[in-house]
């Protein structure tokens, strides 16, 4: 049974989200603000976090930033703001998805299932291929712990970032359009804008650039492909 941490300062929102998830067989725990979210995260070790952005004590972006320093647990942001800059900021901080209030509980459950399904899909690929590691040149991905390495240096990736690299590595010479890349790396891609896709790729590049690498190459007017490894 997957455990979901639900974080929102509005008790009604927490109740609606927990009821919808509990009904689908998930186990839920709650937090009322950012500080409590970090405490519950450390104790409960959830499989996924549904995280409101605007909260007292610590806002959701700061909670995400602190968690991402050491952990890659999937995060779905909730926000009452639909500004593109907020959406991109949340994803660039390491969020895996973003839902605007008011939202349909059914849609939220679908998003949660989609993110968790990607975890299961990676496990199935590992079992099918009989190895926990994909390799291409100096780049490797560990399908057990969703981390990447470049020439032996480890890079911590979010689930979406991992999915992008895994997709590119499956066919190293293929040029993927934005839509094709995200349909392979990210479920429910119909809700993802070009700018959001670019923000995920930009974050992947930043992480590898910090260690002197560039695994993703832009093909102008088309999309992306695996860079020289």
The reply to whether 131-226 shares the fold of 3-113 is no
* pLDDT tens digit sequence for 9-62: 999 999 999 999 999 999 999 999 999 999 999 999 999 999 999 888 789 989
pTM, whole model, 2 decimals?
A: 0.63
| Two structure tokens written together for 218 | 């832009």
pLDDT score recorded for residue 182: 76
Query: Is 120 in contact with 187 (CB distance < 8 Å)?
Result: no
- Domain boundaries, given as residue ranges, for the chain: 3-113, 131-226
Per residue in 50-71, pLDDT (tens digit) is 999 988 878 998 999 899 888 8
Least confident range from 94-98, 114-118, 124-128: namely 124-128
User: CATH assignment of 131-226?
Assistant: 1.10.10.10
Pick the CATH number of 3-113 from 3.40.50.2300, 3.40.50.300, 2.60.40.2550, 3.40.800.10: 3.40.50.2300
Overall residue count recorded for the chain in this entry:
229
**pLDDT tens-place string over residues 151-200:** 989 888 877 788 889 889 988 889 998 888 877 776 433 344 455 678 88
Tell me: pLDDT of 125 over 70: no
């Amino acid at each position: 049974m997957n455990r979901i941490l639900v974080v929102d300062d509005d008790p009604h929102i927490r109740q609606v989200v927990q009821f919808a998830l509990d009904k689908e067989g998930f186990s839920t725990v709650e937090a009322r603000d950012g500080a409590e979210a970090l405490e519950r995260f450390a104790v409960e070790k959830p499989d996924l976090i549904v995280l409101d952005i605007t909260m007292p004590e610590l806002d959701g972006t700061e909670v995400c930033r602190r968690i991402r320093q050491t952990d890659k647990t999937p995060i779905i942001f909730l926000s009452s703001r639909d500004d593109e800059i907020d959406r991109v900021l949340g994803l660039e901080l390491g969020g895996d998805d973003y839902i605007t209030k008011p939202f349909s509980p059914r849609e939220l459950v679908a998003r949660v299932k989609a993110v968790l399904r990607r975890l299961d899909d990676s496990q199935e690929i590992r079992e099918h291929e009989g190895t926990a590691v994909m390799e291409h040149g100096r780049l490797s991905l560990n399908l057990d712990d969703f981390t990447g390495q470049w020439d032996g240096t480890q890079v911590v990736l979010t689930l979406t970032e991992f999915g992008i690299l895994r997709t590119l590595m499956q066919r190293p010479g293929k040029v993927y359009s934005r839509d094709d890349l995200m349909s392979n790396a990210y479920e429910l891609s119909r809700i993802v804008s070009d700018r959001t896709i670019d923000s995920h790729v930009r974050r992947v590049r930043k992480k590898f650039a910090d260690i002197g690498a560039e695994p993703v190459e832009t093909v102008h007017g088309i999309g992306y492909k695996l860079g020289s490894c």
